[in-house]
Amino acid sequence: MKRSPLASVGLHAALVCASAVAVFPVFWVLVTSFKPDARAVSSRLLDESTVDNYVRVLSGEKGDFLAWTANSVSIALATTVLAVFLSATAAYAASRFRFAGRRVLLRSFLLVQMFPFAVLIVPLYNVLLALGLQGSSFGLVLVYCTTAVPFCTYMLKGYFDTVPAEIDEAGRVDGLSPFGVFWRLIVPLSRPGLAVTGFYAFLTAWGEVAFASALLSASDESKTLAVGLQVFVQQNRTEWGHLAAASVLVALPAVALFYPVQRYLVTGLSSGAVKG
């Protein structure tokens, strides 16, 4: 199909406008992060810009930023690994085996999405207390898994359904155990789907605020970034410059992880959604 030049201009104009809207808030935070707090509210693009905010945030002058980062990284990575492993095995089982309660299981995963998790904080706290995990980051990882695993399982099941069952049979004939088939054949074939679920689990844990502030112990060293950043928002006054610099530092790993994954997002997400 040939497009008229006018249509081409229109197409690009629409895409440029949409991209500008998508990028501008993030760009503005980046610009603000270089301004001193007092100038952070000015609308000039560069206003006495320096890297002082970054230096102060990273040096720990404004709270233990590096410790928060370490906590966030370890919690998010643990959540990702655990959630992907749990949801992949469950999704594989749900995709390939017929067992009692299979439909109920899949239905209940959707149900879990419907219940507002914010309301479960106290009962969850009780559970963690009973397990001796209150205030620990592992407890938080488990809680994040309960939000991430149902959705990931749902998506991965759809993905595994698209992998032909003949591959499993061939693997069994070659003497692999069911887990062997899953691990040696299905996992490598499903990398896009796994990348998407892993990414989803990572972001769930990386940006979560309510549970992290409620369930982690109150000491400064055990906070995650999402909780720690609250120190820049005081009652009457927000240290915008510092907050922006810290925000950029928080967003960078998420964005850096996102871009290698994004080309898989389209296929991973849609095959899950189509077959789910």
User: Which 225-264 positions form the footprint of another protein (CB under 8 A)?
Assistant: 226, 229, 233, 238, 240, 243-244, 247, 250-251, 254-255, 258-259, 262
| 119 near another protein, judged by CB under 8 A | yes
Query: CA angle 230-233-238, nearest 5°?
Result: 155
Q: How far is the CB of 64 from another protein (least distance, A)?
A: 18
HSE-CB at 137 with a 13 A cutoff on CA atoms is 18
- Residues numbered 177 to 216 that lie near another protein (CB under 8 A) are 178-179, 182, 203, 206-210, 214
Closer residue to another protein in complex, CB, 175/235: 235
Binding-residue pattern over the window 120 to 139 for another protein, x denoting contact by CB under 8 A: xxxxx-xx-x----------
Q: Does 176 bind another protein (CB under 8 A)?
A: no
Name the minimum Å distance from CB 122 to another protein.
5
Binding of another protein at residue 170 (CB under 8 A)? no
Residues 141-160 that bind another protein (CB under 8 A): 142-143, 145-146, 149-150, 153
**Residues of this chain, 16-75, that bind another protein according to CB under 8 A:** 18-19, 21-23, 25-26, 28-29, 32, 40-43
How far from each other are the two terminal CA atoms of the chain, in whole angstroms?
34
Least distance from C-beta 163 to another protein, angstroms? 16
Distance CA 135, CA 129 (A): 9
List the beta bridge partners of residue 233: 238
**Spatial separation of the C-alpha atoms in residues 76 and 117, rounded to whole Å:** 18
Nearer to another protein, 170 or 273 (CB): 273
Of 50-58, 166-174, 215-223, 268-276, the window that binds another protein (rule: CB under 8 A) is: 268-276
Q: Specify the DSSP class assigned to residue 162.
A: T
186 contacts: CB under 8 Å, gap ≥ 6 = 92, 160, 163, 167, 168
* Rounded least distance, CB 175 to another protein, Å: 19
Smallest distance from the beta carbon of 185 to another protein, in angstroms? 15
Query: Among residues 189 and 276, whose Cβ is nearest to another protein?
Result: 276
Residue in 11, 66, 165, 167 binding another protein, rule: CB under 8 A = 11
Q: How far is the CB of 106 from another protein (least distance, A)?
A: 11
Which of 196, 240, 254 is CA-nearest to residue 69?
254
Give the span between the Cα atoms of 243 and 229, in whole angstroms: 7
Span interacting with another protein, options 47-55, 57-65, 163-171, 265-273, rule CB under 8 A: 265-273
Count of positions on this chain that bind another protein (CB under 8 A): 89
Helices (H), the chain: 5-32, 52-58, 65-96, 102-114, 121-131, 137-161, 165-173, 178-180, 187-189, 191-206, 210-215, 225-228, 240-275
Instruction: Show Cβ contacts of residue 234 under 8 Å, excluding neighbours closer than 6 positions.
Output: none
- Closest to 109 in 3D by CA, of 149, 158, 141: 149
